[in-house]
A and B are shown apart, each in its own frame.
Chain A
Amino acid sequence: MALFEVRGLTHFFGGLRAVSDFNLTFEGGELMGLIGPNGAGKTTIFNLICGVYHPTQGEVRIEGRNLVRRYPHQVTAMGVARTFQNIRLWPEMTVLDNIRVAHNYKLSYGFLDAIFQTSRYRREEKGIDRKAEEVLEIMGLRDYTGELAKNLPYGLQRKVEIARALVIRPKLLLLDEPSAGMNLGEKEALIGLIRWIRREFNLTVWLIEHEMRVVMNLCEKIQVLDFGETIAQGKPAEIQSNPRVVEAYLGKEID
């Protein structure tokens, strides 16, 4: 059974077909890129998978379990985590709290446990603290634990966002333009980081990216989207020489 499967995913915004008949299969362990011009529907696909929108048609399965028509927090609990195009940390919370809140998906204690601080509550909070510090340590964010998220420089905020996603112990990690707004040095570091977390956490990574240097360098396979339709997929070298892709990005040559 495939780890992750998308079949015939189609979505309309009113009369606009934003995504049409999108298909994808991950066996597990892939590092896949999703590219396309602005407005091609890339982020929409991520939103459909995460439960932000419910698709008009199609099915999405992780380990055989259906993801469609579930709430985002349920999708998260099933092992899909993501980061956002424009960083969406909780700015007025500390880095540690940003990481801690992400543990909500599997809290077993309830309201009353929190109020009476039962032994179950204390045990679980202790575990969360330990795990949060572990992740921050691994990601090299130890020194920023008590810092408000909004006070961190851009590159570090990205890192915290990735750390927050890793807390969920995802099977599939979706990265929405991770290199946006980064300088050359930061991009190089990001490529290294993504490769490393994939190995370290045994992840399948699927990323949207505009920066060709990053995609071509990082991804083993790339899928190209234009106006909601898949126009090409294959290895980076094949994509670069595909006439339809060139056309989508640069326009058609006038004869």
Chain B
Amino acid sequence: MSKYSLTILAGLFFVLAVGLSWTGTLSSYTQLILMFVGVNIMMSSSLNLINGYMGEFSCGHAGFMAVGAYTTSLLTVWFFTTGSVFGSNVLPPAWAVALFPLILLFGGVIAALVGLLVAFPSFRTRGDYLAIITLAVNFIVKSAIENIQPIGGARGFMGMGRVVNGMKAVADIPWMMIWTWIFAFLTVLLIKRFVSSTYGKGIIAIREDEIAAEIMGVNTRRAKMVAFMLSSGLAGLAGGLFAHILGYINPGSFGIMKSTEALVMVYLGGMGSLSGSVLSAVLFTLLLEILRPLQLYKWVVVPLILILLMLFRTEGLLGHRELTDVFPRLKRIFGSREGAHGAL
């Protein structure tokens, strides 16, 4: 029974979030925050795969998010809406209901392919040098979009709101809330399964000692490629959701600031801790909202918190551990057959 309690809890949360949004009990502002929490969970846990589990330092995660966001947005707007950029709709707007998740996945695949831009250099360099490359990829993606005028360039791209409205015309339910949390759960599940398989543990061995990993039979090139593609693909999914939640995107929102946010969440939660990433995504998103009255000073307070965290708790909230390791009692409820390092 305890094996399923996490799934049950997640399901309960999902039903509540969607149900209360549907009845209108939650204000649209609260709904927005709730969806951002989901997107941020995807961002932090996917980045943790690289920075925490594989031990590389990727600091351009927002670049992959941008690729996913633009790919899905362009496709949905082209297919389902009538506008100045693509002309009249190709498919009936109602089809968006069925095709949206597929387009989202396609955006993830494209982001994963862009992830190869980082994966290939990672065969030859690591550490600081690879970090610079990830930074460069972030800038390349951002400036490339800024300079493609037909899709809005630096002004940004919109029309996704009409796509979501098209879905709402079919059935008036909180579509984006549903998709965001489904994909957030799937992301966490997918990463958990990956890192607890012998196959996926190869990337932890790379972090611990790459030469030993290679000599003891881990195909490090393939492992790095899979890890980078998985991580950037999931960031692409997050981007696609983000774009359709907001209804408007511009290259500026996928800059180094966004990448830093993802990094902060990973380090706040703890490297190599999936429950840490989820926890910190929730805390961080809420914190940013609570500090909103401070306006720009928010960006003084948040980094300050990070400095304090690094001083007093270098490992993050749950460094290399999961919630069940910190509170062993949880094991009775969320017991896992994997034991110490497998449980969420």
With A73-B214, A76-B216, A89-B212 in contact, do A125 and B198 touch (Cβ < 8 Å)?
A: yes
Interface residues of B in 2-56 (CB under 8 A from A): none
Q: Does A22 contact B (CB under 8 A)?
A: no
Q: Does B185 contact A (CB under 8 A)?
A: no
Q: How far is the CA of A102 from the CA of B201 in the complex (A)?
A: 10
Q: Which residues of A contact B320 (CB under 8 A)?
A: 92
With A101-B213, A109-B199, A128-B198 in contact, do A90 and B218 touch (Cβ < 8 Å)?
A: no
Interface residues of A in 55-88 (CB under 8 A from B): 71-73, 75-77, 81-82, 84, 88
Q: How far is the CA of A91 from the CA of B215 in the complex (A)?
A: 16
Q: Which residues of A contact B220 (CB under 8 A)?
A: 73
Nearest B residue to A100 via CB reads B198
The tally of residues in B whose CB lies under 8 Å from a CB in A reads 31
With a 10 A CB-CB cut-off, give which of B208, B212, B216, B218 has the most chain A CB atoms.
B216
Q: Does A146 contact B (CB under 8 A)?
A: yes
Binding-face segment, B157-165, B169-177, B189-197? B189-197
Q: Does B200 contact A (CB under 8 A)?
A: yes
A247 to chain B, nearest CB (A): 34
CB < 8 Å: which of A71, A94, A114 contacts B194? A114
Q: Which residues of A contact B205 (CB under 8 A)?
A: 90, 93, 101
For the residues of A in contact with B, the DSSP-based class is helix
CB < 8 Å: which of A52, A73, A89, A117 contacts B217? A73
Nearest B residue to A165 via CB reads B216
Q: How far is the CA of A165 from the CA of B212 in the complex (A)?
A: 11
Q: Does A121 contact B (CB under 8 A)?
A: yes
Contact A73 B193 (CB under 8 A): no
Q: Does A196 contact B (CB under 8 A)?
A: no
Contact A72 B214 (CB under 8 A): yes
Contact B204 A104 (CB under 8 A): no
Contact B198 A104 (CB under 8 A): yes
Contact A168 B199 (CB under 8 A): no
Q: How far is the CA of A71 from the CA of B211 in the complex (A)?
A: 11
A3 to chain B, nearest CB (A): 20
Q: Does B340 contact A (CB under 8 A)?
A: yes
Q: Which residues of A contact B201 (CB under 8 A)?
A: 93, 97, 100-101
CB < 8 Å: which of B193, B200, B339 contacts A146? B339
**Which positions in A face B, CB cutoff 8 Å?**
50-52, 71-73, 75-77, 81-82, 84, 88-94, 97, 100-107, 109-111, 113-115, 117, 121, 124-125, 128, 146, 164-165, 168
The 7 closest A-B pairs by CB, nearest first: A105-B217, A90-B208, A88-B212, A114-B197, A76-B217, A72-B214, A72-B215
Interface pairs (29), CB distance under 8 Å = A51-B215, A52-B215, A71-B221, A73-B219, A81-B216, A82-B215, A88-B211, A89-B208, A89-B209, A90-B205, A90-B212, A92-B320, A93-B201, A93-B208, A97-B201, A101-B198, A101-B201, A101-B213, A102-B216, A103-B217, A104-B202, A104-B217, A109-B199, A111-B194, A111-B226, A114-B194, A117-B193, A128-B198, A146-B339
